[in-house]
Structure formats: C-alpha cells, structure tokens
Chains A and B, each alone.
Chain A
Amino acid sequence: MSVFDGLKFRRVSSPIHMLDPRIKFLYVCSIFVVAIVFFELLPLLVLFLFQIPFVILARVQREWVRSLRGAAFLASIIFGTNILFRFMYAGYSLTANDIEYASAMTMRFIALVESFSIFFLTTSPDHLGLALEKSHIPYEFCFAFTTAVRFVPVLAEEAQTIMDAQKARGLELEKGNFLKRIRNYIPVLIPLIISAIRRSLELAEAMEARAWGAIEKRTNLYSLKMKRNDYLLVLVSIFVLIIGIFVRFYVSIPTLSNLLGF
C-alpha cells in the first residue's frame, strides 16, 4: 500500500499545488523524455537532484520519501535483472561500467517515479478532472476518471476491513504454497468487487437524483487560468528539454567511474 500512499493527494497550500495541472503534466512529460534519452548515470543523477527543490517547495517530503520507499522493491528488481543480463552477456564477468549501467537504469526509474509522485501528490482529483475537461475530453470520461481516482483510498480501506473479517473467521492469507496463497485471496476479492459494484450503482442513483447530465453544456465553479508561475514552469520544462537534447547530441558524457578514477 505504501506505493499508493506516496501518490495520494494531500491538501497543502504551496506554490506547486497552485500550478496549472496541464503545465505540471507538461513538466512531467519533459522529465520523462529527458530520462528516456540518457543511458548514463551522471545525467540521470542530475535529473533526480534537479527535482528535489520542487519536492521541498511543495512541502510533501514525507509522502515523497514514502513513494520512493514503495518504489524500492521494483528498483531493486530492475537493478538485479540489469546486472544479471550484463553479467551473462559479457561472458560471466562484471566491470565497473556494468554496475554503472545497471545503476543508471535504476536511477532512471527512480527519477520517473519522483516526477510522477510530485505530480500526483500536488494535483487534486478536481484539478485533474478540470485539466482533462479543458483538453476537450468529454465530461463523462473526466468524471469517471476523477471518481475512480477518488475511490482508490476508499476501496483500500474496505479491503483492509474485509481482510480483518475473514481473518477473524480463521483465514490465513500467508499460508500454503504460491497457488494456495493466490486462492486465499478469493474470500477477500469477492466481497470487495461486490461492494464496489453496489457502491457504484448507489453513486449513479445519487447522481441522477441530483440531476447529473441535465444540462448539455456545463459551467465550472473553478476555472484554470495561467499565472506567472505557470509560465515560469513552461520555461523550465522547455529549458530542461532543450538542455537534455543538446547534451545528448553535442556533449560526450563521462562515466562516473572515470571521473572518480577507477
């Protein structure tokens, strides 16, 4: 669950929270592109450090650390498989370069998780829906999306209650071999699915009772307007993108082991 905690929006007022979600998304995209074009550890490390001021500015350090901790498991798998394949590919030997390559791949993943976590931690579901709507996506889909996002923590809590209820009837989730363990989850999944369906039907009725979809053209209480900081972030994103691509094509990147003199 800790991965989800690290992505769950928390209402804090900070300059980052106030930014236009569309621009934040542009920023995430440019980080994404830059992370994808590099295979070397050094620039990816810079990319990782570059984002830390955003985290501090948004005052979500605790949640951010939690999201990194949640990503640690996947990161270690990425590191492990990279080392393994390099090791087998190079004829069962390992150099400092191989380790650096594996670290670079892991760092790329971490930098991506970092940018996504900044985005989701600082963007409320409402804002997200508004941004989708402004991107000319039909309102029905936007609403479905924001509702889904909003129900994730509710369902997680429900799953915990159901697990408790079945444990109280002697269910041992951690017992048995791999297949048995998967089957152990049936008594948890069925009530969870049924309650999710029931909940959605109730929600649909409640929405219709409040005249959802009565008017073809909706207006919004809040509107998205670009402010000074938004333009600043646009500049930062484009700058990151240009620098990234420039360095990729015109600068030879030293490896970390060379720099440190191995």
Chain B
Amino acid sequence: MIEVKNLYFTYPSGVEALRNVSLEIRKGEFVAIMGQNGAGKTTLIKHFNGLLKPSKGEVLVDGVNTESVSVAKLARKVGFVFQNPDNQLFSETVEDEISFALKNFGFKDTPLRRRVTWALKLLGLTEYRKASPFMLSGGERKRVALASVLAWDPEVVVMDEPTIGQDYSQKEKLRQFIVQLNMQGKTVVVVTHDVEFVSECNPRVILMSGGEILADGFGKNVLTNIELLTQASIVPPQVTEIFMGIKDLGFPVDIIDLYEAKELLMKRLGRK
C-alpha cells in the first residue's frame, strides 16, 4: 500500500529530519510509529499523502510515486487526521465541516448527504449535526475532525497523536474504534507517544529516533526491549514493568497484553 524507499528529508531551514528511512506498509495493517519529540515521526507520515516530498529517495502509494501527483489526489486514498482539531475546523456547523472534504472530492448531493449521516453516526455525533464545531468540547472536536476524514472512506487512515488531550474513557472508546476500523480492513497508521495505548492495541510498532528507524516489529518484541526503548526515550508499558520486576519468580518479561498477564498470574496462583 505504502512503500518508502531510502527516504531522506531536509527542511528548508537545513534541519535533516529523516535519514535513509525504508519501510513498507501493507494493506490492512495496523502500524504505530513511536519515538520522542523531533524523532521525525510527523515528517515521515506527511510523506504518505504528499504534503512533503522527499529530498532524496521515493515514496510510493499504491505503486504511484507521490512526487508525480497532487496532495488532493493522494488524500482521496490516504486520509490524514491532524493532531490538533482546531487546525482544521472552520465551518458554521458540524455538518458543513464534514461536507467540506466531500465537496472538494466532487461528491454530488445525495451521496454526499448519505456519507455525512454515516460519518456522524459512526462517531456518535448525530445530535451535534447542526451545532457549531467551536462550541463542542475538546474530545468532541477531535471526533468531528476524525469524522470529516473518515467520511470519504479513505483506504488508509493516518492519525497524528489521536490520544492527546482525551480523558481516559474517551481514549478507551477511541482505541476500540480504531481497532474496529482496522478489523474492517482499513490500513491504520498511528503516531503516538502513548505506550499504554499501543500496548493495548498491539499493532506493528516502528520505533524512530533522530530521523532513523530504530526498530520495526511486533509490539511484544519492541516494547519489551529495554535497550531500544532507552535509545528512543520511551518507558515500557506498566504491565511489562511489573513483569520485569517479578522476573526472578520465573515469569517471562515480554508481556504487553493485560489479558495474557492476567492468565499467567492466575495460573501461578493455581486458579483457572
């Protein structure tokens, strides 16, 4: 779906943000990109829909070089949800906000309205249809931003820090929603700092540091590798920390899943 080959990117200010990054994201995959601030995560995902063009190397979306097509064309396939919903909300009503992209992509009246209704329902925003997006709470605004992207049903959904500024139950709802999206066959790419969020979703994890890919693999392997995590300035998930603390009792340390942890502990306690 998305192929990145030996990508280098330098900002006009002279900062080299990406150095020789290569990766492939297949259709239907769920990928989390992690790393500290300034590791190049956002720069990397901005290449997926052509907002940034490579300084060297190439990025292919569905076999098409991003250099040769417009952002609008790529955006039809790759939906991009920005970190801060306030960077895109501008309409009078939530409905108009969601229609904006659909109009840009040339949807006609009836399918457009059907899509808006569908997207509102998908994110539980139906009651806010006529409300002003600026009057909504932070979490709701975030959902409007997400709905405005999902409305055109892109094949790939890229999200920059979806969990920031959300309370815990919101976050949990969002997590379930994202997992569900992925189960329905969407390719999902998430950029995040939130290890707990990642450990609960259990996606493929790409660890970045200083503009390079440090590791790329199962969450179970990457998030339990202390050496790698230290290099990327990330702390392991809490479950992993517990198991690292009790490893002398003969427990494995590569545990990131709560359910698996519970099973192991129950077994040790002699309960089924």
Contacts and interface: CB of A to CB of B under 8 A. Distances in A.
A187 B101 CA distance: 11
B32 to A, nearest CB: 20
23 contacts: A158-B87, A161-B84, A161-B87, A162-B87, A164-B82, A166-B88, A168-B51, A168-B71, A168-B75, A169-B101, A169-B148, A169-B149, A170-B72, A170-B75, A170-B76, A170-B101, A170-B152, A172-B70, A172-B72, A191-B86, A191-B88, A194-B134, A195-B86
A171 B104 contact: yes
Contacts of B46: 164
Contacts of A195: 86-87
A234 to B, nearest CB: 36
B86 A171 contact: no
B125 to A, nearest CB: 17
A160 to B, nearest CB: 10
Contacts of B90: 186-187, 190-191, 194
A164 B148 CA distance: 15
A190 B71 CA distance: 21
Given A164-B51, A187-B100, A194-B134, A169 B86 contact: no
B87 A165 contact: yes
Given A186-B90, A187-B90, A191-B88, A169 B49 contact: no
Nearest to A186: B90
Interface residues of A, number: 19
Given A165-B80, A167-B51, A170-B152, 12 more contacts: A161-B84, A162-B87, A164-B46, A164-B51, A164-B82, A166-B88, A168-B82, A169-B101, A170-B76, A171-B72, A191-B90, A194-B90
B87 A168 contact: no
Interface of A: 158, 161-162, 164-172, 186-187, 190-191, 194-195, 198
Interface of B: 46, 49, 51, 70-72, 75-76, 79-80, 82, 84, 86-90, 100-101, 104-105, 134, 148-149, 152
B75 A169 contact: yes
Nearest to B49: A168
Contacts of B76: 170
Contacts of A168: 49, 51, 71, 75, 79-80, 82, 149
A103 B109 CA distance: 56
Contacts of B79: 168
Contacts of B86: 191, 194-195, 198
B149 A191 contact: no
Contact of A191 (B72, B87, B152): B87
Contacts of B82: 161, 164-165, 168
B148 to A, nearest CB: 7
Nearest to A172: B72
A158 B86 CA distance: 11
A167 B75 contact: yes
| 3 residue pairs, one from A and one from B, having the closest CB atoms | A170-B104, A190-B90, A169-B101
A260 B104 CA distance: 59
A198 B84 CA distance: 14
Contacts of A186: 90
A99 B72 CA distance: 46
B171 to A, nearest CB: 22
B110 to A, nearest CB: 19
Nearest to A159: B87
Contacts of B75: 167-170
Contacts of A190: 90
A191 B90 CA distance: 6
Contacts of B148: 169
A168 B77 CA distance: 10
A170 B89 CA distance: 14
